[in-house]
Chain A
């Protein structure tokens, strides 16, 4: 119906300077800052400001985004030097000073604000991120019982949206890109803490090496950076304790008789 607009945009009466670190692999030798003057309103996120630039000023600017509601994990970037999701960072909280946007720290830049995600996904894949049933059960036999208390043991770790902000915050990952890192450790703990799972030993083994859990120096900035209160630092610490215990237990009994995945 024409008489009542079904979509209204708040009037953009103010202007913010957006400074974006650009990098175009064929034409740029190194990343360079480019500034845009962008009209904005107080309800706008940094993502919406970037979209406004792309749609009205500069179609060559590249960045990832999708859900706009801090659940898909696509739009992580450095905003004024901090790892943030662009979709739930609001210009009103940063104005009137210029806003600086850079690709996520510690990752190779592919183009503009787009960084390489594949290595992070390989880390996730390496820690057996699926239920290895402690007691196999048929579908007909119904669900596994799991009390709210048993759920609480792993639930917060299952909330990780894979946005990689914790990797951008982590100095150890910055120094050693092979470090398994906080996000994958949180995922590992999500399964190791699940009462349905019997794959604990397999996963502990996967992080026992020098790029595993022991690379963490307990700085804790990963948990500060997390937009979902997943607390990956806690996951890392829990696994340090378990990994240490596991290490000493190996002197006492051979591994194949230890607390293995299928025992």
Chain B
């Protein structure tokens, strides 16, 4: 066991982790920062974000509009004070990224350009073609290089946190290239490890998106909040689940069923018009569009492909020049993976799991209930996404709250005494090594991973039924028991990915259990959590509350509930298309108050 002492330990070097590291380095240059990632930073999954990042810039837009779109989009399960802070910080953070070199797409006059996105009243999505996450990640990584206080531990995999005396004290890492362990003792720890979409079989996520940080915090007593809310992105590649950005629709693409109809008008999102209208049709929110696909599939209106049922994402009317300029990555993926030229042929697409709305419970300062532990980005639940995340709010989130986490962790580290050299380190190492050498019954963990993912799709998909969620809970409990029977084929130490993926499966099972148990306990339909077993309606009286999943060693989690902070936008009907306009007008007429929901 190697030992490293530092002030701030950051787990994860994607967008949120890098932003936190830079913020910590700038706000407290005298502090040492250890930035740990299980991959090289530029491989982090922020790299795959395509469409863009929100920030109000147009004169006819307002922070209040962004606030309304976010809170209504989240079906009112948002912390409104946090959303207020968030929308006020998005644009300065986007400007900061611009100053650091992010190649945002520009207007002819040299100002940055913005595009339309789903569920948004006014265009406010900053974009770098359709490689926005890629450019943000590389900009942050390259910018971070100039700070000497940031010491990176690339390809170090975290096997456990160290917590003692009511406070986090660091974490233990496994270096992939050697198989040796390093304990990093730190005064403050920031978790920025991303989401957990790989617990489902068809997803847009990279292989690394396995919920590691969520599971680690959870095992150390920090609740996971709102885990039942998992976003299915409506336009993904059948089979692989790879993402075709919402920016396709922001630029004007249509969604067609097998009859060539723009079927979204049948699901309360119309009327259809040839030109894109914000918050109408294809520019509705992701949960509604994925739900509409589910119904079309049952009506027999979908297009069959060897990889399953699809609808068609039609970009043809945009013209080749615009498609190539605004959506080059989409063109490349359609051509290389599917042999399709989007300028002449619609792309078959279907929903796939994309984003974990819930995560590690943190407050507006990104502080978790465990002293010294902070979390930012997709792994966290700071409270801005509610029951359904608005497209382009996640890149903004990792910028805004990555920075907060870095600054808050620095503040904590300056006040805190030195980290205790925990005696837990040897036990952590022994536990990891036990998995490596355990003589199980020979079961392959890859088989168990596939079983978990299929079970999550079945029980915790776009629409949910009580008995199926129960079956998923049972399957997960069974899989956790079977972990004891896993036999690793690879017993060596250098680059043993057999070992790492088995540890990741342990993380995934804990996170999946939190999702499934939170889902079955929520007896209503809200945002991305839709039930068709007698709980079809939103039930504010019982469930305008955050779920909190609490880890129990050796058993399923317990679920409790916490209040939702409503500051000035009381719950209202969530409506889009013409219905949204009517609700908007009615709200204005009755209240005559600018603060009333125009959603």
Contact = CB atoms under 8 A, between A and B. Distances in A.
Interface of A: 1-2, 4-11, 24-27, 41, 43, 54-56, 58-60, 62-74, 88, 90, 110-112, 114, 117-118, 121, 124-125, 128-131, 133, 137, 139-140, 142-148, 150-151, 154-155, 158-159, 161-162, 187, 191, 194, 196-197
A58 B488 CA distance: 10
A114 B177 CA distance: 9
Given A1-B463, A66-B39, A158-B135, A8 B496 contact: no
A110 B495 contact: yes
30 contacts: A1-B458, A4-B297, A4-B309, A6-B457, A6-B462, A11-B306, A43-B239, A43-B306, A55-B450, A58-B489, A59-B488, A59-B498, A60-B492, A62-B497, A67-B43, A67-B47, A68-B206, A68-B240, A69-B333, A71-B47, A88-B336, A124-B142, A125-B145, A128-B146, A130-B142, A130-B146, A137-B99, A145-B109, A147-B110, A196-B99
Contact of A117 (B40, B108, B294): B40
Given A110-B177, A139-B95, 9 more contacts: A1-B465, A10-B306, A43-B307, A66-B208, A114-B495, A145-B111, A151-B106, A161-B134, A196-B101
Contacts of B306: 8, 10-11, 41, 43
Contact of A6 (B48, B112, B154, B461): B461
Contacts of A58: 489
Given A6-B457, A74-B39, A146-B106, A68 B96 contact: no
Among A59, A90, A114, max chain B CB count under 10 A is at A59
Contacts of B239: 8-10, 43
A112 B490 CA distance: 13
B550 interface: no
Given A66-B207, A68-B242, A130-B146, A147 B96 contact: no
A155 B101 contact: no
A71 B136 CA distance: 13
Contacts of A10: 239, 306-307
Contacts of A114: 495
* Band of interface residues on B: 35 or more
B1 interface: no
Contact of A143 (B43, B98, B138, B208): B98
B100 interface: yes
Given A4-B298, A145-B109, A147-B108, A25 B47 contact: no
Contact of A194 (B101, B454, B468): B101
Nearest to A162: B42
A26 B492 contact: yes
Contacts of A55: 444, 446-447, 450
B432 interface: no
Contacts of A64: 39, 43
Interface in B429-469: 444, 446-447, 450, 454, 457-458, 461-463, 465, 468
A92 to B, nearest CB: 10
Nearest to B142: A129
Interface in B42-100: 42-45, 47-48, 92, 95-96, 98-100
Given A74-B39, A137-B99, A60 B489 contact: yes
B380 interface: no
Contacts of B98: 143-144
Nearest to B203: A7
Report, nearest first, the 3 A-B pairs whose CB atoms are least far apart: A145-B110, A59-B489, A55-B446
A143 B111 contact: yes
A155 B43 contact: no
A72 B42 contact: yes
A245 B493 CA distance: 51
A10 B308 CA distance: 8
Given A1-B458, A4-B298, A129-B142, A147 B109 contact: yes
B131 interface: yes
A25 B494 contact: yes
A7 B51 CA distance: 25
A212 B28 CA distance: 35
Interface string B458-489: 10011101001000000000000000000011
B277 to A, nearest CB: 27
